[in-house]
Amino acid sequence: MIYKNMHLYCNENLESSFKDTYNCIKKKEDMSFVEVEKGIVHKYILVDNYNDYGCVTDKDYNIIDDSCLYRGTGINCGRVHRKEVDLYIDKEVIFLGLYFQHYGHELLDGCSRLWFINKNVDIKDYCYISQTDKDDHFFIFNLLGLSSKNLIRVDKNIQFKKVIIPQASNNIYLSYSDEFNETFRKIGYNIEASKKKKIYLSRTKFNFPGMNTVGEKNIEYILKNNGFTIVYPELEKLETVISLMKGAEIVAGIAGSNMHNILFARDNIIEYNLLRTNRVNLEQLIIDKMKNIQSYYIEDFYEPIPPIRHYAIPYLICLTKYLEAFFIDEKIKYNKKELYDKFAYDFLDYFRNYSEIIFNDHLNEESKISIEDLVHNLQLMFSYYDGEFLDLNKKRERYKKYIDMFLWWIPIRKIRYKMRGYFYNKIDKNK
C-alpha cells in the first residue's frame, strides 16, 4: 500500500522509486540483546579508505553478528583487523555501538542501541566505538543520564568481563522500531520546545569540497519571506536544534543529514524535502514512516553533470516545473522572474565550484565533463530560461555577460579569448 501522506513532486521514475522503497521499509518488533562472556570490543580502523573495521567478538575472535553495523542486508562495518587484546577491564559493560564522524549516521546508526539504557538497571558501565578521537557524542549520552565516568571509548582492542550487545533498533535501508523513535523522545525530554512553528534547515553555511548546494540561498530567501525561521544546524548547539524541532509544525530543507534532525520532532508534523539529486532518500523515508510524517519530496535540481555518486560534485538547485507546482499548491509566494534571473548566475557559480573541485583533484576521471558537454549545457540554459521575459537581442546581450562572468577564472588570456569568441559565435547564431 502506498503511503498516503507522501506527496511527490518529481519525474515518474523517481516517483516510482520513492514509492517502491517506502513499501519495502518494515517495522521491527521484539527487540533483544545478547551477552558475551569475555567479549572483546575491537577499535575502529579504516583501511584503504573503504573497509571499516570494528565490532565485538568472543574470546576466540568469532564476530558477534549483532554487534555489526548493518545497512540493508549487508554489513557496513563488522570486521576484525587484528586478533590481539590490548587491555583487559574486569567490568560488565553495555555496548552502545559505532559512532561515525558524519552527523547523520551518528543519529541513525550510533543511536540505534541507546534504547537499552532505560531497560537495564543493573549494569552502569558502557562502551562504544568511535570513528574519531573527539567525544562529540557525550552530549547525547548525558541527555540520557549517562555520566562520562561510566563511558569507555574503545580506542584499542579491549576485553571485558562481559559485553551486553543490544540489537540495533534501526537499519537505515530496511527497518525501524518503536524503541528507536522513543530514544529521541527521551533524549529531548527535558528540553523545552521552541515557539517557532516553521523551520528551514539551511546548508548555506556548510562548506565542504564537492558538497556545495548552489542556488539554495534563493529557496532560503523565499521561505524566509513566507514565515520560516532560517536555522544553520552546524552553527547551533544540539540543545537548540532539539528545541526547534520539538516545537516545529513544518520543517523544510535540502534532503540530507540536516533533515534527519526531524528525529527530535513530534510525530505527524509536515516536512518539505528539496531534492538536490536524482536519488531516493532511504534514510529519510524510514524516519517518515516511523513518525507518520506528512512528507513532500520536490525535484528542484538541475544536473549539468550527472553525479556517479551522491557526493563529490556541487549540486544545483533551481526553479523546475515540479518546484513551481509545489509553490502553487502550498501557496508559497515567490518572484518567478527573479528566480529565472538568478539561475543564470547560479549556473555559472556551479561550474566555478566544479572547476575548483577538478583543480583540487576531488573528482575521478569518470566525473569530469568535456568541453562539448559544457557547450551543450550552456545552450540548454540559453533555451530554457528568460524566454518569457526578454526579446532575442536582450537575451543575447545577457548571455554574453554571463559568458564573460563564467570565463574570468581561466588564467591564460589566449585561451580565454578563444573560448569567448567560440561562445559569442554560438549566441549570435542562436535564434
Burial 314-338 (b: 16+ CB within 10 A, else e): bbbbbbbebbbebbeeeebebeeee
318 shares a domain with 186: yes
In a domain, 195, yes or no: yes
In a domain, 351, yes or no: no
220 shares a domain with 202: yes
In a domain, 40, yes or no: yes
145 shares a domain with 46: yes
Cell representation of residue 92: 560488565
313 shares a domain with 185: yes
Report pLDDT for 386.
47
207 shares a domain with 330: yes
Residue 13's domain spans which residues?
Answer: 1-26+178-336+359-365
309 shares a domain with 227: yes
Cell representation of residue 266: 513530534
294 shares a domain with 147: no
In a domain, 173, yes or no: no
* Angle, helix 282-291 to helix 12-24, in steps of 10 degrees: 60
* Number of Cβ within a 10 Å radius of residue 100: 21
Cell representation of residue 274: 528539496
In a domain, 79, yes or no: yes
104 shares a domain with 208: no
CA-wise closest residue to 63 among 142, 163, 135: 163
Query: What are the average pLDDT values for consecutive 10-residue runs of the chain, which has 431 residues?
Result: 79 92 89 94 78 85 87 66 93 90 77 85 86 70 87 93 94 87 94 97 79 90 97 92 97 93 96 91 91 96 68 80 95 90 79 68 51 58 50 62 59 63 67 52
Domain end marker among 365, 384, 407 = 365
Q: What is the pTM of this model?
A: 0.84
The total number of residues written for the chain in this structure: 431
In a domain, 347, yes or no: no
Number of domains the chain contains = 3
Task: Give Dmax (Cα) for the chain.
Answer: 81
Domain end marker among 111, 134, 168 = 168
Domain end marker among 124, 140, 168 = 168
- Burial class of residue 274 in the structure, from the number of CB atoms within 10 Å of its CB (0-12 exposed, 13-18 middle, 19+ buried): buried
In a domain, 406, yes or no: yes
226 shares a domain with 198: yes
Cell representation of residue 275: 531534492
Angle at 363 between CA 359 and CA 367, to 5 degrees: 120
